[in-house]
Structure 1
Amino acid sequence: MLASARRFVSSSFAAMSSVYGITVKDAQGKDTNLEKYKGKVLIIVNVASQCGLTNSNYTQLKELLDQYKDQGLEVAAFPCNQFGGQEPSCEIDIASFVADKFKFEPDLFQKIDVNGDNASPLYKYLKKEKGGTLIDAIKWNFTKFLVDRNGNVVKRFGPTTEPKDMKKDIEAALAAPAKL
Structure 2
Amino acid sequence: MRILLMLIPDVEADIAAGTSMLRLELFAGAYYLFHDRGIEVVLASPAGGSPWMGPASPGRENADVAVLRFRKDGPSREELTDTIRLDQAYAEDFDGALCLGSPGSIWRQEHKSPAASLIADFLVAAKPVAIMPSGLDLMPHGTAEGLLISGDSARTPLLAAHALIGVLDGRENRAASNFNE
What band does the TM-score fall into relative to the shorter chain?
0.3 to 0.5
Task: Give the TM-score normalised by structure 1.
Answer: 0.40
Bigger relative CO (Cα 8 Å, ≥ 6 apart): 1
Task: Give the TM-score normalised by structure 2.
Answer: 0.40
